Amino acid sequence: MRFTKKKIETVIISVLGEEGFALVDQLTGKENVSEFDLANKAKLDIKIIRKMLYMLYNHNLVGFTRKKDKQKGWYIYYWTLLPENIKFDYYKRRREQLEKLKRRLEEEHKELFFVCPNKCVRLNFDQGMDFEFHCPECGELITQDDNKDEIKIIKNHIDEIEDELKKLQESRIIRRKQIKKKIEKTKKKVIKKRVLEKKTIKKPTKKKPLKKKVVKRKSTLKKASKTEIVKKKILKKLLKKSSQKKKPIKKTVKKKVIKKKSKTKK
Ligand SMILES: [Zn+2]
């Protein structure tokens, strides 16, 4: 079921009153309309336009974005109707209307009604009693109303609304399914992207363990070197001990070496 401009109008007008017509004209089928453009085209003062827009905003029927005017330094608001919310609002209003009509139909079946021949008033039995079955407006005697026509009209109205609500609900279900499909599609896309990203990321992650292996090798090397150092230390100690025993010989050797070094330096 198509959601016509008329339905949008009924929602907007129920919030804003007759003045809202100009605004609906400027907003339907458009996006991000500047509030100044709205004021110009609707030929209304910017303050009135803003007041109307805020009322619609409070009813969750419009959304806005804002941009800072670099020259003037203030924000300009751009407005868009929210069709889904408007539809929901419309649906809600129609359901309330339906409930009212059903209650009225029940009353019409239960109660007796009295009307003035001049069509001033229509009163139920208790109200008629209060005025002693005379019209409170013109004083004429009121007579029992044959409400068969009234009941027909109400029944027709109820049928009409029920039919409309059914169609709206059907289209809602279809739309929800479409939205679900879209969401699932985007989910699948996201998952695919993630998988692809993982695949592309996997290459560096493959490198990482290699690096770790290198590090491990280094550490083993370090460990080896450490043991070598310990070995060297032990060797040094042993050498020292041995040198301490053979002190005189080593000293002379050392002196000779030093002499040689100094010679080469010169
Ligand atoms: Zn009357």
CATH number of the CATH domain containing 70: 1.10.10.10
In a domain, 10, yes or no: yes
Q: How far is the CA of 163 from the centre of ligand 1 (A)?
A: 37
Domain identity same for 27 and 101: no
Domain identity same for 159 and 63: no
Domain identity same for 64 and 106: no
Predicted pLDDT at 25? 87
Selected residue with higher pLDDT from 86 and 231: 86
Domain identity same for 95 and 37: no
Q: How far is the CA of 134 from the centre of ligand 1 (A)?
A: 8
In a domain, 91, yes or no: yes
Percent of the chain with pLDDT over 70: 77
In a domain, 151, yes or no: yes
Q: Which residues hold their Cβ within 5 A of ligand 1, which is an ion? A: 116, 118, 120, 135, 137-138, 140
Predicted pLDDT at 226? 59
Q: How far is the CA of 146 from the centre of ligand 1 (A)?
A: 17
What confidence tens digit (pLDDT) does each residue in 32-88 have? 999 999 999 999 999 999 999 999 999 999 999 999 988 888 899 999 999 989 999
What confidence tens digit (pLDDT) does each residue in 105-146 have? 999 999 999 999 999 999 999 999 999 999 999 999 999 999
Quote the domain boundaries for residue 171: 87-111+147-196
In a domain, 175, yes or no: yes
Tell me the torsion sign for CA atoms 1, 88, 166, 157: negative
Least confident of 80-94, 187-201, 237-251: 237-251
Predicted pLDDT at 54? 96
The one-character DSSP state at 34 is E
Q: How far is the CA of 121 from the centre of ligand 1 (A)?
A: 6
In a domain, 104, yes or no: yes
Domain identity same for 57 and 155: no
In a domain, 264, yes or no: no
In a domain, 222, yes or no: no
Look at residues 118, 158, 161 and name the one whose alpha carbon lies nearest to residue 142.
118
Distance (Å, rounded) from C-alpha 139 to C-alpha 2?
A: 50
Overall pTM > 0.95: no
Is-contact 50 35, C-beta < 8 A?
yes
Q: How far is the CA of 127 from the centre of ligand 1 (A)?
A: 14
